[in-house]
Structure 1
Amino acid sequence: MINDETRRKLREIQLEEMIQAIDRQAKDTIYATLSFDERMKMIVDYVYQEKHNKRVISLIKRARFRIPNAAIQDVFFAERHLDKDLILEIAACSFISNNQNIVVCGFTGSGKSYLACSIGKEACKQGIRTRYIRLPDLLMEYSEAKIQPNGQSRELKKYTNYPLLILDEWLITDLSDDELHFLFELVERRYDNGATIFCTQYKIEEWHARLGGGVLADSIMDRIIHGAHIISSGSINMRDFVLNL
């Protein structure tokens, strides 16, 4: 058993998990037959796993997922006629290190948000900082930031720096010129510098008009669509489907 002073020092350097591992070994005689190296390896493995688990929980909480319980293994691939191989490949999260975007298209209730959140959670499990936000909420945050000194610059920097950003309800509302310029700056700064998942009810060919139909629309779309994975969220209403299970 370790004494109180050693426990205090371990807690001071944030190694409460090490105390737990040592106490567990002290209470079970099976560990007495193991060598020092074997016991130390088990302690380190336990501490590493516990800290990793806590970091994942923290990342998921800070991501602010709309559906925090979403899980990739619970996606109804066959029923929704989804490309399972593609989605599982995406869920492995190499698209993030490759700075690729994902566009999830589908009608209301088709499970776009669930799919995006489940991919986002897989990113968190790999230690990747992720943030989910609805586009209307993001635009509201940006507008409210005007009253703070350099508030809009900080807001732009904040959402630029997430390795994975999930923008739900993409283009659900009409955009002002100021909002269009903000979105251009955001996608420009994130281009080749991060991955973004866009969830939208609108087909890509409808985006240009909803983005104002001008040069900014061209620029925004080019930076989003180039090299992106396009996913249809399926042809069934998942809210009705789940209720009837």
Structure 2
Amino acid sequence: MLNHPTLDQMQALGLAGMASAYRDLSEQPGTKELARDEWLGLMLDREGALRADKRLTNRLRLARLRFPDASIEDIDFNAARGLDRRQLMALAQGEWLKASENLILNGQTGTGKTWLACAFGRQAARLDHSVLYVRMPRLFEDLAMARLDGRFPRLVDKLARAQLLILDDWGTHGLADQQRLDLLEICEERYRRKSTLITAQVPVSRWHDLIGSPTIADAILDRLVHNAHRIDLKGESMRKSKAAAATVTD
């Protein structure tokens, strides 16, 4: 039987889950009849669960999701949105992440693209993938500033290493020459190595014109679109619908 010095040693070794399980087991009636390997198994289970929770918390902190509480389980499958439950549940399994495939969410403003992207981001973190969320306008601002202060290679490396990179608000405006080149470099670093999730109001058929420079646009789209799963969100703005419902209620 473990004694208190051993319990203290567990804490010192960073085995907080095992220590917590031992304390709980010691206070529960009937646990003395358990075999030593059963005690050990329960303690290891608690340790594993605690470490998994800490990894998830850390991944979500680093992901900086706009909606950190968004969850696959809370998706609204209202028929008006045009969501395919079977497709979304299949994507939630994460095979597309293992295959370094991409995901494109299209829809008008307010249809829930960003929230859904964050739900997929949270699910990826649950599956032990690193995630990074960034809005495209802010991304280009950060890249321009990083180029000036010498952080550009480090920032590109950070964007390249994320196992899931979420690019929100794609195509809100055309791209300048340097922005096109920066985007191509990021796409090239990630191509067939990591997954990218894009949200956009603009349909994919118009992306080429928005990017500009046909040669660079071809290269960027080839790395983003050809191996991408697509979800088209339909219907009116959910924000407007909720506002209207609140007005009626009031």
Instruction: Give the TM-score normalised by structure 1.
Output: 0.94
Q: Once the two structures are superposed, what CA deviation does each residue of 1:211-232 show, in whole Å capped at 9, x if it has no partner?
A: 0142101111111111211110
- Give the equivalent residue in structure 2 for 1:92: 93
Alignment deviations for residues 64-108 of structure 1 (CA, whole Å, 9 cap, x no partner): 110111111211113312111111111111111111111111111
- Using the TM superposition, give the Cα deviation of residue 35 of structure 1 relative to its aligned residue in structure 2, in angstroms: 0.8
**How far apart in 1 are the matches of 2:237 and 2:82?**
13
Cα deviation digits, residues 123-178 of structure 1 (max 9, x gap): 111111011110111111111112333x2111111100111110000121332111
- Equivalent residue, structure 1, for 2:229: 229
* Whole-Å separation in 2 of the counterparts to 1:101 and 1:172: 20
- SS of 1:102's equivalent? strand
Tell me which amino acid in the other structure corresponds to 1:60. L
Partner of 2:102: 101
Matched to 2:201, the amino acid is Q
Aligned pairs for 1:1-245 (under 5 A) are: 2-3=3-4, 5-79=5-79, 80-149=81-150, 151-243=151-243, 244=245
Structure-2 separation of matches of 1:188 and 1:216: 11
Stretch of structure 1 that moved more, 108-117 or 209-218: 209-218
Task: Specify every segment of 5 or more residues in structure 2 that has no aligned partner in the other structure, as ranges.
Answer: none
Partner amino acid for 2:231?
Answer: I
Following superposition, the deviation at residue 236 of structure 1 comes to 2.6
Once residues 199 and 149 of structure 2 are traced to their aligned partners in structure 1, the CA distance between those partners, rounded to angstroms, is: 30
CA distance in 1, matches of 2:233, 2:167: 15
1:6-27 Cα shifts (integer Å, max 9, x gaps): 3443233211121111111111
Shift of 1:242: 4.0
Separation of aligned partners in 1, 2:103 and 2:110: 19
Distance 2:88 2:125 in 1: 17
Of the structure 1 ranges 190-199 and 133-142, higher mean CA displacement relative to structure 2 is found in 133-142
- Opposite residue 116 of structure 2, the aligned amino acid is L
CA RMSD of aligned residues (A): 1.5
Paired with 2:240 and 2:163, the residues of 1 have a C-alpha distance of 34
- 139-148 or 100-109: bigger deviation: 139-148
Residue 240 (structure 1) shift: 2.9
The alpha-carbon distance between structure 1 residues 123 and 199, as it changes in their structure 2 partners (threshold 3 A), is same
Equivalent residue letter for 2:15: L
Secondary structure at 1:167 match in 2: strand
Give % identity. Answer: 28
1:25 partner letter? L
Task: For 1:226 and 1:174, locate their aligned partners in 2 and report how far apart those are by CA, in whole Å.
Answer: 21
Residues in 2 aligned to 1:133 and 1:122: alpha-carbon distance in whole angstroms: 17
Gaps of 5+ in 1: none
Distance (whole Å) between structure 2 residues aligned to residue 13 and residue 140 of structure 1: 43
User: Which letter does structure 1 place at the counterpart of 2:174?
Assistant: D
The 1:24/1:221 distance shift into structure 2, 3 A limit, reads same
Q: How many pairs does the alignment contain?
A: 243
Q: What secondary structure sits across from 2:140 in the alignment?
A: helix
In 2: Cα distance, 1:223 partner to 1:84 partner: 27
